[in-house]
Chain A
Amino acid sequence: MLRILKDLFRYNREFSLGAILILLVVAISLASFLSPYPSGMQYVVPFDAPPSWDHPFGTNSRGQDVFWQLTFAIRNSLLFGTAVALLSRLIAIVVGLTSGYVGGMVDSVLMSINDTFVVFPPFPILVLVYFIFKDHMSWALLAVAMACLGWAYDARLIRSMALSLRTREFTTQSLFSGMSTGQILAEEHLPYVLPIVFATTMNNINWSIGLEVTLSVIGFTNIDTPTIGTMIYWANQHTALVAGVWWWIAFPVGLVIITFVGLYLLSVSMNEYIDPRSRLSGMGGAA
């Protein structure tokens, strides 16, 4: 595993660029533990100071240092995205493997449900959830709601892999040697599916951070938890752009874009590593 990562880092430009970007983002989020100011505290520094030596990303209209605020925000956003991704991966793996391996009626039913979730527009449903829960809206609740909406596309992907695995010889052999369905899925098939799951995790983290930003900016999450989204929300509340406090907006937006691009590059390079066909065509096909 480590060797693969090392190879990828050395010879795959997308992977190395993505890894550097994500390491940078993670480093910034880890810096939150060194923050001289607690995350929620306001009025601890002068207002609206532009970037300077003391405050590299400036300060905002709520008397917070933008850099240190950003470290908390990106940490929470990353944790949130990871939580959603892990939860929805769990659903996707269970549904995908079961559907692909068991087949028949089970497959039809699960895939019908799956296709149903694929076409749902998540935003109106999440807004509905917020509307009902309002002040009870918490980080965990939002994560669960998003995980319930974000698994379907990848479950289909995993199912198609499981379908092809089912016809392989080692499956028959493990079946004859008396392994149960669950055992076969967990011990024989899961290792084959994991790389692709890993690649989709990156995409899913992107998706959930993006959606969280969107909901937060409109104020439909717990706005007291600092995330990239709530940072932009408060900046908008204080009309930061009109007031010329551009650094309050520019740094969170820039950082979140770095995160998106980094995760995306990681996912692309993983996919390329997994699928040798695209690797081959990457070397130059026609013309």
Chain B
Amino acid sequence: MRQSGRDNGSTVGPHPPPEGAPALSVDNLRAYYLTHYFGVEREVRAVDDISLVVRRNEIYGLAGESSCGKTTFLKTVAAAVRPPLSVIGGSVQYAFLDRDLYALNPAKLSAIRWRRLSYITQGSMNVLNPVRRVRESFIDFAYRHMGLKRRPFFAAVNEHLQRLHLAASVLDAYPHELSGGMKQRVTIALATICRPEFIIADEPTTALDVIVQKDVLAMIREAQQQIGSSMLFVTHDMTVHANIADRLGIMYAGRLVEEAPTADIFANPKHPYTAHLVASLPRIGEQSRKESLSGAPPNLANPPSGCRFHPRCPLAMEVCREASPALTTLAPGRRVACYAASPLVKPSPTAERVAGATHRAERVGLVQ
């Protein structure tokens, strides 16, 4: 069952950012967890005013430590919001849609799922129904979108599996009969069978060992290139990003703090947090000790004032404590939110607006 014979040479690894049209535009997106337990109201700002663009045919990597809001961000752009999470404001525009994602009715939303927008998820160990064969999962997810009769449908599935170097016999297996790596490959095949325009990948390699991880990454890259889709790829693992992402966004405490082509991020990080992430990567022949970041990630229910990174920042200044820095374009394709990075960075106007917000347009429960 082991698939081999894939060439890892030219197809894998970052390539220059394509100057394509946007496939996904996110503007000022805010999504909070609003909870109400035993009389105590809490508000966790997991996604706080994020704007970014994913271009056609590119892999956009999103990095940051655990609980920085990466997965929540993915949920909001996948319209997988359910209580206690709710979208407070902002817009999510896909190129294949004529309107905002959150303006779709459930039927429309259901029609684009998998056909145009698919998802490779975190913890792929448990995303396949344990009592259904893989074949049935393919039917459940893809059959209605392909517009084919049974026989040609399975011919197409077989062909797709073959392209991804998977044996057709996996179709008759139950999930528990497959190894972790195999399951992950099956979900990648499942997510790409309909040739969707946009794929969201949430830590697809985190649970795998390093060898399998490399193969799976190559497979994702290969599938993405075969069908020419755009991808939003989230992981906390910077080495994975170095191998797969065209451009990188760095998240800290619910905010985007830096964005640049992958190579630039690694070569010349502007934000001190990015610099720390890059510096913590092991390099061959390196002797020096790694500097660890002092302090803990902030509590998103009660974030620090000003720049959320300032309590842990080696470069913190007076202004950092008072006003949140806006994500500012320093050069084409290069944005950063840090006063120390450039004098061009000014306090964010939206931060004040958010703090003063009393009424909210809540949009809840958009999983149909």
- Taking Cβ atoms with an 8 Å cutoff, the residues of A that contact B are 7-8, 10-12, 279-280, 283-287
Which of chain B's residues have a CB closer than 8 A to the CB of A12?
38
Interface assignment of B367: CB less than 8 Å from any CB of chain A: yes
**Inter-chain contact A283/B39, CB cutoff 8 Å:** no
A10 interface neighbour in B35, B39, B368, Cβ under 8 Å: B39
- Taking Cβ atoms with an 8 Å cutoff, the residues of B that contact A are 35-39, 82-84, 365, 367-368
Which 10 A/B pairs are nearest by Cβ-Cβ distance? A11-B38, A7-B38, A284-B83, A11-B39, A283-B83, A283-B84, A10-B39, A286-B367, A286-B82, A285-B82
Contacts A284-B83, A285-B82 given; indicate if A279 touches B37 (C-beta within 8 A): yes
A-B contact pairs, 22 of them (CB 8 A): A7-B38, A7-B39, A8-B38, A10-B38, A10-B39, A11-B38, A11-B39, A12-B38, A279-B37, A280-B84, A283-B35, A283-B36, A283-B83, A283-B84, A284-B83, A284-B365, A285-B82, A285-B83, A286-B82, A286-B367, A287-B365, A287-B368
- Classify the interface of chain B: helix, strand, loop or mixed: loop
Which of chain B's residues have a CB closer than 8 A to the CB of A286?
82, 367
Which of chain B's residues have a CB closer than 8 A to the CB of A11?
38-39
Give bound CA distance, A167 to B354, whole Å: 44
Give bound CA distance, A120 to B82, whole Å: 44
> How near does chain B come to A10, taking the closest CB pair, in angstroms?
7
> How near does chain B come to A157, taking the closest CB pair, in angstroms?
23
Known pairs A284-B365, A286-B367 / 4 extra A-B pairs, C-beta < 8 Å: A7-B38, A283-B83, A284-B83, A285-B83
Which of chain A's residues have a CB closer than 8 A to the CB of B368?
287
Which residue on A lies nearest to B367, using beta carbons?
Answer: A286
Give bound CA distance, A287 to B368, whole Å: 7
Which of chain B's residues have a CB closer than 8 A to the CB of A7?
38-39
Which of chain A's residues have a CB closer than 8 A to the CB of B365?
284, 287
Give bound CA distance, A203 to B83, whole Å: 32
Which of chain B's residues have a CB closer than 8 A to the CB of A8?
38
Give bound CA distance, A284 to B36, whole Å: 12
Which residue on A lies nearest to B35, using beta carbons?
Answer: A283
Give bound CA distance, A274 to B82, whole Å: 23
Give bound CA distance, A182 to B220, whole Å: 53
Give bound CA distance, A11 to B83, whole Å: 19
Give bound CA distance, A283 to B39, whole Å: 13
Which of chain B's residues have a CB closer than 8 A to the CB of A279?
37
Which of chain B's residues have a CB closer than 8 A to the CB of A10?
38-39
Give bound CA distance, A8 to B84, whole Å: 21
Give bound CA distance, A154 to B311, whole Å: 49
Give bound CA distance, A108 to B82, whole Å: 42
Which residue on B lies nearest to A284, using beta carbons?
Answer: B83
Which residue on B lies nearest to A7, using beta carbons?
Answer: B38
Which residue on B lies nearest to A8, using beta carbons?
Answer: B38
Which residue on A lies nearest to B364, using beta carbons?
Answer: A284
Which of chain B's residues have a CB closer than 8 A to the CB of A283?
35-36, 83-84
Which of chain A's residues have a CB closer than 8 A to the CB of B36?
283
Which of chain B's residues have a CB closer than 8 A to the CB of A284?
83, 365
> How near does chain B come to A53, taking the closest CB pair, in angstroms?
44
Which of chain A's residues have a CB closer than 8 A to the CB of B82?
285-286
